[in-house]
Amino acid sequence: MKSIKIHLHRSFFQDKDKRVIETENLSADQFLYSTGVCGVRINNHQGFIELLPFQGQQIWKAHFLGRDLQMKQPAAEPVETTDFLKNFGCFMLHCGILRVGAPTGSDPHLLHGELPNAPFREAWINYGEDEKGRFLSLGGKYLHQQFFGAYYSAEPEVKLYEESTVPVISMTVKNLSGMPMELMYLCHINFAPVDGSHLEYSAKYNAESIRPRTTIPSHLKPDPDYLRFINDLKTKPELHHQITRVLRADPEIVFYLDYMADEEGKCHSLQVHPDGCADYVCHRKNQLPKAVRWISRTPDHDAIAIVEPGTCEVDGYVMEKEKGNLVILNPGEEYHCEIEAGSLDANQTDKILGKIREMTTFHP
């Protein structure tokens, strides 16, 4: 089947939903949030995703199996900005490409880089078919050019297949300059915590493989009880596996994790709900060798990134370079990665649990 690409333009977007394409099992609508931000909704019979075609190509909202998957926070709609914290609350955003992590006094840069709210000039909806079946996707191209600096293109894509509840997220970056380029990338996926759930994932459950971040970013002001809890997690990381309101994650807990990959090179992460369903992320370790977990449960925000796969961790440019976590792209060279993130029913969850437990020795 040949693919069909529909190019989008900001002038197409109006207050009311407008159907762009419809097939037997898939459809896509374009609309305008009340804040003026352009949106695209891709639907199948299982649910939908809402994306921001011209602002970072974020997945603002994901809804499958009768439930909103994204983190809970006060802002119902996105706002037009390049400031990370003024528009944070989506299901998925891309971080990088030149910087990832929180800035410090000796390492000033944008929080999580230029990509989260990057202005896209090109965006499109694609209807196609591959080895997994028929899909609708949102894609686009962002060009970053800095005089005496980096010049690259970033082309993300989010695919939703006909019967799937797990969108496929990809990112392709090409160095367009004549000089080598440093690359940092992180896929920031933010689920809503479900009380009574527990975490299972393809890593060894010990203090060597699960390490809480002990450095505190300057924009956070933790209290002594929080610092004591972080200290406890150094030797007992399993304390965070049960998702309850007792979990001290105000303002946040960050972990660095060492994942194991299965025979296909895939790493698996689950938030298993009390009803047997689960939130799910799958990533390839050869593409995304580093893994971060972020939990934040405050009076205003409720979020769990069960895994944020990346090429680096989130200590900022200087420290990540010292760790050797920067990717170097030569002139004309490309970097590509693919992540699956969504919701599983109970039967699908059991299959992934079986795979994880073949790889680990943990049993809740």
- CA–CA distance, 233 with 255 (Å, rounded to integer): 10
pLDDT value for 230: 86
Asked: is 4-359 a CATH 1.20.1530.20 domain? The reply is no
What's the whole-number mean pLDDT along residues 17-34? Answer: 97
DSSP code, position 91: S
pLDDT value for 364: 45
pLDDT value for 334: 98
- Residue 356 tokens, joined: 């994880």
- Residue 73 tokens, joined: 């926070």
Q: How confident is the model at residue 95 (pLDDT cuts 50, 70, 90)?
A: very high
Does this model's pTM top 0.85? yes
Q: Where are the domains of the chain?
A: 4-359
Residue 19 has pLDDT above 90, yes or no: yes
pLDDT value for 109: 85
Q: How confident is the model at residue 363 (pLDDT cuts 50, 70, 90)?
A: very low
pLDDT 10s digits, 51-77? 999 999 999 999 999 999 999 999 889
- Residue 144's alpha-carbon distances to 156, 158, 182, 312, 329, in angstroms, are 14, 21, 13, 20, 15
Residue 246 has pLDDT above 70, yes or no: no
pLDDT 10s digits, 323-356? 999 999 999 999 999 999 999 999 999 999 999 9
Tell me the pLDDT of the chain averaged across its residues: 93
- CA–CA distance, 26 with 45 (Å, rounded to integer): 8
Angle at 144 between CA 149 and CA 319, to 5 degrees: 60
Residue 215 has pLDDT above 90, yes or no: no
Lowest-confidence region among 27-41, 94-108, 307-321, 347-361: 94-108
Question: For residue 317, with 0-12 CB atoms within 10 Å meaning exposed, 13-18 middle and 19 or more buried, which class applies?
Answer: buried
